[in-house]
Structure 1
Amino acid sequence: MFPVGGAIDMQLIYPWIDSAGNFPLKNNWFLVEINHKLIKHLVIGFFVIILLSWIASFKFDQLKAFKWQLGYLFWVSVLSTVLIGLLKSHSAHACPWSMTESTAFGYVWDFSATQGHCFPGGHASTGFSLLTGFFVFRKSNPKIAYFFLCLGLVLGFITGWGQMMRGAHFLSHNLWTGWIIYTFNLLVYRIFYNKFRTAIQ
């Protein structure tokens, strides 16, 4: 569906490589501190609040009506990122910055590189994990549902693109991350749909 190292991957990765095969933006402050660290910490902070709210819903009447939604949003989002992490940890795909070799005439790509653990895109899952909110609110509050859908897609692509600029991933790595997380959410929602519909009524 999204071929790794295909023509589109290569066309979009070339602007970020210098003549020696290095990625000059690998340690860029903005891409490392803002795109990679800050966004991740903000999303983690959001889910910590959701977790604490879910725990509080067992005690406080004001939150009991939202218990199922809060729990679903937290656990399915976390499980989707765990799934990406597991797939990544068993992957033989190398990162682009580990696949270029300098030569006397510039650089060449080494697609046999097996340093691995670079597919699918782990950081993009931070943003795409918010897609769970779309499924949580699609029936009860479509406006909030589409807010989560747009936010998840935007953050997923922004964080993924930043990693591509650094040489950490190809575009396909991040597209697969988004597709896997969406499919995982769809399957979980289908399995628990009746339970979820009853809980929010």
Structure 2
Amino acid sequence: MPHAALTRGQFLRWQAGGLCVAAVLLVLVNYATDWDVRLTDYYYDFAQQRFPWRDAWLTAELGHHWFKLLFQILGVALVVGSIWQIRKHKTTGIAGKRGLVIGLSVILVPGIIATLKHFSSLHCPWEIDRWGGHAPLLRLFDALPSGTSPGQCFPAGHATSALWLLGLIACWLPDRPRRALAMTPLLLAPGMMLGWLQQMRGAHLLSHTLWSVWLSWAIVAALSAWLLFPSTIKETHHEPHQDLGSAGAHPALESGAVRAGQFSQ
């Protein structure tokens, strides 16, 4: 079913509105509730003064090492595959732009969030005095007490190993925004899973991961608006069947045995 075309400005207004609402909710939850504390308390053993899951195989070896490596390899493969397909087959137009959005998401989502994390004053839970550390528990905009070194633990970095997957919504944009929206929870799930495993270890608070999701959304939305959406309706080119696995799909996935038509029918 064809959808009404959106201009770049319309798409940006929808995204900016959603981002603003989400940011306000995140701030309100951070200051008006104790969700972060309660969830972290659940995984902390106050009797033994430690996080039992911190060095467990599931969270430390599988979650922190192997899952991260898996998604990094997948990201590199998509970037290399895009470049190879574009150079070999001279892929241009919407397919090339979709590949560019995905490739840039692989690079920019972890890169930008890691940079912001470097300048953060917030500490990881296992460094906070409530959970056996030395630093005070601070909320998002609280000032760092004098004599306390910055924690550099916000937003969550490990989750971004998979949060770049949100860039795959480009496979359904700009022609199928509803399909892109429907796929968003599935694409965010791996990153949220990695974030949750880190919360079990005491490496991050829930709010750290949720703000990484928010930033990933903002980055992917900006890339999509820039590369995929026309500035005016006159520039819109309807390609209703070029979603994942079709002629307009991500170049690195075009020649694969699995076609998205199998999922979209």
Provide TM-score, normalisation by structure 1.
0.82
Instruction: Give the one of 185, 190, 195 matched to 1:150.
Output: 185
| Structure 2: distance between partners of 1:79 and 1:119 | 17
For 1:60, what is the secondary structure of its paired residue?
Answer: helix
Find the partner of 2:50 among 8, 19, 22.
22
Aligned partner of 2:202 in structure 1 is 167
Cα gap change, 1:68 to 1:56, in 2 (>3 Å)? same
C-alpha contact (below 8 Å) 1:132/1:185 kept by paired residues: yes
Partner SS for 2:87: coil
Return closer, same or farther for 1:117/1:197 CA change in 2, 3 Å cut-off: farther
Structure 1 runs not aligned, ≥5 long: none
Instruction: Give the aligned length.
Output: 198
Q: Is the 8 A contact 1:95 1:168 kept in 2?
A: yes
Give the RMSD, CA atoms, in angstroms: 3.2
Deviation at 1:89, TM superposition (A): 0.7
- CA drift of 1:136 comes to 3.9
Structure 1 residues 40, 140: CA separation in 2 closer, same or farther (over 3 Å shift)?
Answer: farther
Are positions 1:194 and 2:230 aligned together? Answer: yes
Q: Which moved more, 1:180-189 or 1:112-121?
A: 112-121
Q: Does 1:47 align with 2:82?
A: no
Moved more, 132-141 or 80-89: 132-141
> d(CA) in 1 for partners of 2:90 and 2:226?
28
- Higher mean C-alpha displacement, 85-94 vs 136-145: 136-145
- Percent of counterpart pairs with the same letter? 24
TM-score (norm 2): 0.64
* CA 82–102 in structure 1, closer or farther in 2 if over 3 Å, else same: closer
Letter in 2 for 1:26: R
1:10 counterpart SS class:
helix
Give CA-to-partner distance per residue, 1:45-67, whole Å, 9 cap, x none.
11121122122123322856733
SS of residue matched to 2:230? helix
Partner of 1:73: 102
